[in-house]
A and B are shown apart, each in its own frame.
Chain A
Amino acid sequence: MARPMGDSHRRFLQTIMSNGIIDGSQAKALHKHCCDVAGANYSQDRLDEFIDVINLHLQPMFMHIRKGMSEEDGLQYYALVNTAETEVTRMSSDYADNELELFRKIMDLVAESDNGTASSTDILNCGDALLSKKLKKKETEQVLNKFVQNKWLTEKHGEYSLSTRCIMEMEPYLRTIYQDLLKNCHVCDNIAFQCQMCENPDCGIRMHLPCVARYFRGRSDPHCPACNEFWPHEIPEMHRPLASQSQPSSAKENTAPRSTPLTSQGRRSGRRL
């Protein structure tokens, strides 16, 4: 029989549930905290095993703690997701019908864009054209703030994108709704919204910004990893997780050091269902 859950696991699970999403370093600190408080055995390198125990018990509930990467900073995050098909409905207890309609419109805008963002101007126009009940400009702004506050969207210079939490939790839904509009990142094979695209029309692969940064690190003359065409975009610089910051950047640039968060087993098992 599987390892039983203790209060350390329950505290960890509840904290993720009530926060929606936590980042990798928070997860590490939380792991230690939960074990300390419950008087359970703690060893630093056992976080994955610790989460496996929780996931085993969550499986019958069609839930899973999934590890994923942020499109913005390339860091690891953990969120509680559902392993079955998804709808925007978990938001429904927090939002009115017209607010949910606005959110679906924003997802449309983001999915149809080239760079995974929607401008506040476009969103404000959507608010004015809702079927359920129009939102005034001021109201739309308030709702947008609420989406950001509750970690469903992120905002930068008036551009909105889907948050890591949103993508992780709603991936199955997004794939069903947008199908061909969505492409995976060539590097990490996860869904890619905020990304760069190869400009060769026969190729058009996408890469997340952090994946671009990691892949082309130290290369002065970047070429598309799929078609070998020149990569015309500016290579972003990424803030690296502390653990790998000290690595010399010249060495083997695209064998991402041990922080490769990209092939989480959570994602895999999620798809299978």
Chain B
Amino acid sequence: MRYDFGYFEEDHLKKVTEAHLWQRILGYVRPFWWEVAGALFLSLIITGAGLGLPALLREAVDNYIVNQGLTIPARLAGVTRLAGLFLALLGLEFVANFLQVVLLEWTGQRVMHRMRQQLFSHMLGLNLSFYNRNPVGKLVTRLTNDIQNMHEMFTSVIVTLFNDFIRLTGILAILFWMNWRLALCMCLLVPAILANTLWFSTLARNAFRRIRTGLARINSFLQEALSGVSLIQLFNREPYSRERFKALNRAYLDDTLYQIKVFGIFMPVVEILAMGATALIIWYGGNEIMQGAMTIGVLVAFLAYMRLFFQPLRELSQKYSIVQSAMASAERIFQLLDTHESLPVAREPQLPAKDGGMVVFQNVTFGYAPGQPVLHDLSFTVQPGETLAIVGATGSGKSTIINLLERLYDPDSGGITVGNADLRQLDPAWLRRHVGLVMQDVFIVPDTLRANILLDRLDIDDAKLTTIVDRAQLTALVRQLPEGWHTRLGEGGMELSAGQKQLLAFARVLARDPAILVLDEATSNVDTETEILIERAIDTALANRTSIVIAHRLSTIRRAHRILVMTEGCIVEQGTHDSLMAAAGLYYHLQSLQVRECGPS
């Protein structure tokens, strides 16, 4: 099997100025600016406390521990006092730290929740052409990983970057204040570190991207293989699949090893630079001390600050990549939010006529892709209460008519009216409740049989449900299930036979009691006996409704009042069964094909 589907390279993104992105991101944060200000304030406390601790240490060493000028009790008392101060500062740092973590998480989560919610409802509003072009996996990534990336940036980078910045400037200030010459020497190292970090982040980012891509490939291969294990086994494709998987894993391994090498070089280089600073302090600081220009306490403090100074620098590259991937995610999210491929909804949806049973297609032309029309200038009318059957070759556009009637797409030209109101003037939710569709493919929601029938009609009680189940010819099935209609269906639950799934779809429509009934090959997997029973049940339950029936089995069609015959998106014949037979056209030909079987073979 050659499937790398499920994984898609990101399409080329439009160039958006970074400032523009930041502005939009900040727009989401603005309602929470109090919280953000609080977090920044806590940063100041944390940094102050963190920097104060080594200062106290220096104070203790210089003023008391090595200060021969004071009496021993005075020196001891001094150390005790400073130790007390040290403790107080510790407590403060702890509380501030804790508060900051929680505050940031709380704010970040709420911002992201809003954004996710907005994105989700935006997506549900987009039309089906959008979904045909965009694989589900990609859209799910927007909702989950991309939002997660932004959250990560929000909680672990923005404020910590601020923290780091304050801390670095604070340390530098203290170092300059203690001994500006030594501090200046150390500043010489900073460009080296920054250059190293920059170089590294480029390499690391590429390595990470390759690893992520590799992992995504492995996972989508696995996903597809797992859902098609039976096919692999039936086609004896196991050795081939194994080899494919091995190759994907091999590539992934190479990428991870490369990443380990990149990190293996970067980390020691930073370390060596840090050690260089230590060596510098020893050499230069030692000389200063020997000349009496500096105290030993300053040297000890310098060594301690060094550590604090290098910590954030070491993490800088990591944060840099987090920000970068978050920006890329933000760009993709905003791009999706800027996609307005939804069908226009009338500002003030028209209230449909009381008798909403009439359906008119007027000169409808439509194609899924521009320039490739599937329906050509199609016109027909269904009278209220009439049953219309549509027959035609596969791929002739029957399901497409239904897609238009449900307003999943809008026609390229021409118009469709239901109950004398143009579809574009109606509320889509009203329309879809008004037109009950039994689809060609039955989607099973991973839930109980009952929930699958009711969907959102939770107002239906068990007595009514029993009737519905009975009419949909599902009673026998429900009775033999150990948990009745509380049996779970779908992943990890039980499977229905193909025909039973279609019966379930009938039950769904019966539960919704629509004014217009549309059946799109709704009984293709159901035997004729059951089909007749269900037709009768529907005739009782939904008597005198307008219905449109698509079917290939001519026995299904015969109950229609009128029949449309389609080829390649055009209506070639229409009329009653008798008139079409008399016309001896395509319909007659189709019939005669079925007739053959009746004669003794």
- Say whether A associates with B: no
Residues of A within 8 A of B (CB): none
Residues of B within 8 A of A (CB): none
